[in-house]
Amino acid sequence: MKGIKILAIKGDKRQQAVISRLREKYDVYDVCFDKLPETGGFDVLIMPMLSADGDFAALFDKLKAGGTIFGGRVSETLADTARSRGFSCIDYYKDETLKIKNALPTAEGTLMAVMEVYEGCIRDSKVLVTGFGACARQIARVFSSLGSKICIAARSEAARAHAEMSGYTSVDIPQTGDIIGKADIVINTVPAPIIGEREIKRSCSSTIFAEVASPPYGINKEMIKKYKKILLELPALPARYAPKTSGKFIADTIDKTIRQKFSQREEDKIE
């Protein structure tokens, strides 16, 4: 859309891909946090995926009144600060469509990470996946396509039925400890503590654990250390293994929101 000025903060390869994609449609000015432009008047501020709060007052000063801020994993503190100054603050990481799209690079990244340490053939492996959301479904599909035998642990009866109709076996989460001893690879996608001492103690000595979930995570790291297990901590997999594709997905999510927001503004002006 013409006339929309975007200030984008530089970041990793994924953020670079976001900027490159949006530059095809908008006037994008990209800068580092410590080298902001002297002028302001930007309609939109795009920040990278955030890992901590900070003082963003200097950035906010570059926005027009009523401007829009995009960021990933935006904290409530940052969102409240932005809103108190009259800005819209949108966490693109919460977009359901983006979550579904990001599930595939997450699954491929999980496979790559596991293959670097697993000493057997993926084709012959027994894989336990906890949860059956978007990421878990893609992880199960990717490993299954290479010949792995998949078991899904999920609380929801509907999710377990879905898993079985997809050709996998399934168990309820509380039964994980009863069957974990058969698993070569355990991949957690549930952001809640579900794999503790009982489960880890009962796993095989060679079992590989992979943590894909976001905080507060699902695998007890202290118990992993106690029983000397291998744990792969796999945050931000799309950024690590498919930054170009992941950046495209984020850019398209931002573009969709910008178009909706500014189209509504134009309609309001006409009325």
Segment 103-153, tens digit of pLDDT: 999 999 999 999 999 999 999 999 999 999 999 999 999 999 999 999 999
Q: What are 7-49's pLDDT values in tens digits?
A: 999 999 999 999 999 999 999 999 998 888 888 999 999 998 8
Cα→Cα distances 186→22, 25, 65, 149, 270, Å? 38, 43, 49, 12, 57
Query: Cis link prior to 243 (omega < 30° from 0)?
Result: no
Burial of residue 204, with CB atoms counted within 10 A of its CB: 0-12 exposed, 13-18 middle, 19 or more buried: middle
Structure-token pair, residue 74: 């935006």
| Res 268 pLDDT > 60 | no
Instruction: Quickly state the pLDDT bin for 3 (edges 50, 70, 90).
Output: confident
What's the half-sphere exposure (Cβ side, CA atoms, 13 Å) at 133? 17
Report the distance separating Cα 114 and Cα 116, nearest Å: 5
Report the distance separating Cα 118 and Cα 207, nearest Å: 9
| Res 254 pLDDT > 70 | yes
The residue that leads in pLDDT, 262 or 264, is 262
Q: How high does pLDDT run on average in the chain?
A: 93
Q: What are 184-210's pLDDT values in tens digits?
A: 999 999 999 999 999 999 999 999 999
What Rg, from alpha-carbon coordinates, does the chain have?
22
Closest CA to 17 of 257, 250, 254, 259: 250
Those residues whose C-beta lies under 8 Å from the C-beta of residue 220, and which sit 6 or more positions away, are: 193, 195, 196, 197, 200
Instruction: Quickly state the pLDDT bin for 264 (edges 50, 70, 90).
Output: low
Cβ-contact 258, 95 below 8 angstroms: no
Cβ-contact 245, 105 below 8 angstroms: yes
Q: Can you give the residue ranges of every domain in the chain?
A: 5-92+243-270, 98-235
Cα→Cα distances 43→136, 148, 208, 210, 231, Å? 37, 49, 47, 41, 44
CATH of 5-92+243-270, one of 1.20.200.10, 3.20.20.70, 1.10.3720.10, 3.40.50.720: 3.40.50.720
Q: Give domain 98-235's CATH superfamily.
A: NAD(P)-binding Rossmann-like Domain (3.40.50.720)
Cα→Cα distances 39→29, 70, 95, 258, Å? 11, 20, 31, 22
Cβ-contact 123, 101 below 8 angstroms: no
Structure-token pair, residue 209: 């654990």
**For the whole model, what pTM was predicted?**
0.87
Instruction: Quickly state the pLDDT bin for 267 (edges 50, 70, 90).
Output: very low
DSSP for 89-134 reads: EEEGGG-HHHHHHHHHHHHHHHHHHHHHH--S-GGG-EEEEE--SH
Closest CA to 218 of 107, 123, 136, 156: 136
